[in-house]
């Protein structure tokens, strides 16, 4: 079961990816985590990626796919995996598909967690993070016992720059421009499935399970 998670930033795809991974015993693979692992452990791929990052350049799609394929070739991925945060663009998806075809493999499901922009702006601007321990809350869905104070350590809670409405709006614009075309791409491959991401967390997951087991 090879799955790609799609959806705007803040749609909840990372949370759902983690729940899928836990239920089916397959790895939740985030490109950010793979990069950090390879760089920290000084692998050849990590060293290559670091040369670009040290110069402030984007890691080329071809190298990113090589790092990803190295990860999915591990024994724990035999039964499948959930890709979170990759591919982000059509060229990345094309390179990935080409390499998977060479391995006589392919993506089984592309799950699009659909959430309107206004929901995402509201959802993300309600987040609060503890400056001290990093715990996160939401003023509406998971409020701390005392406003502005972390339940865990008593630290001050703040609205992070990444979650400010103007920043979220910019991230959404990039998503619609670069990443949303992947929805049509995977629809053309016959593997796209849409899920209503405005529902309660466990209802979204129940809908995903129906798709995967249907």
Catalytic residue among 36, 160, 189, 210: 160
Q: Is 127 a catalytic residue?
A: yes
DSSP 56-86: TPPPPHHHHHHHHHHHHTSGGGTT-EEEES-
Pairing of strands 28-30, 81-84: parallel
Output the CA torsion sign for 126, 193, 31, 55: negative
Q: Is the peptide bond before 2 cis (omega within 30 degrees of 0)?
A: no
Give SS3 for 119. Answer: helix
CB 13 within 8 A of CB 110: no
Catalytic residue among 88, 99, 164, 194: 88
| Ranges of H-type helices in the chain | 13-24, 31-40, 44-54, 61-72, 90-102, 117-125, 165-174, 181-188, 201-213
Catalytic residue among 2, 71, 123, 127: 127
Q: Is 171 a catalytic residue?
A: yes
How many C-beta atoms surround the C-beta of residue 15 within 10 A? Answer: 14
Q: Is 40 a catalytic residue?
A: no
Catalytic residue among 2, 13, 123, 193: 13
- Tell me the sheet residues that pair with 128: 137
Close Cβ partners of 187 (under 8 Å, ≥ 6 residues apart)? none
Q: Which residues are catalytic?
A: 13, 88, 127, 160, 171
């Amino acid at each position: 079961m090879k799955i790609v998670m799609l959806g705007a930033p803040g749609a909840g795809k990372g949370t759902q990816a983690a729940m899928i991974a836990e239920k089916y015993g397959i790895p939740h693979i985030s490109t950010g985590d793979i990069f950090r692992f390879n760089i920290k452990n000084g692998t050849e791929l990590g060293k290559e990626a670091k040369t670009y990052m040290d110069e402030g350049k984007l890691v080329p799609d071809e190298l990113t796919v090589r790092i990803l394929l190295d990860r999915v070739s591990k024994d724990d991925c035999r039964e499948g995996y959930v890709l979170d945060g990759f591919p982000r663009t059509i060229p990345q998806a094309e390179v990935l598909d080409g390499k998977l075809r060479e391995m006589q493999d392919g993506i089984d499901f592309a799950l699009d967690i659909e959430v309107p922009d206004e929901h995402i702006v509201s959802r993300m601007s309600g987040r609060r993070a503890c400056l001290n321990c990093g715990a996160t809350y939401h003023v509406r869905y998971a409020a701390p016992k005392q406003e502005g104070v972390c339940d865990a350590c008593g630290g001050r809670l703040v609205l992070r720059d990444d979650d400010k409405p103007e920043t979220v709006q910019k991230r959404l614009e990039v998503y619609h421009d670069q990443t949303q075309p992947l929805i049509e791409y995977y629809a053309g491959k016959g593997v796209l499935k849409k899920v209503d991401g405005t529902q309660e967390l466990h209802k979204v997951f129940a809908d995903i399970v129906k798709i995967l087991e249907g």
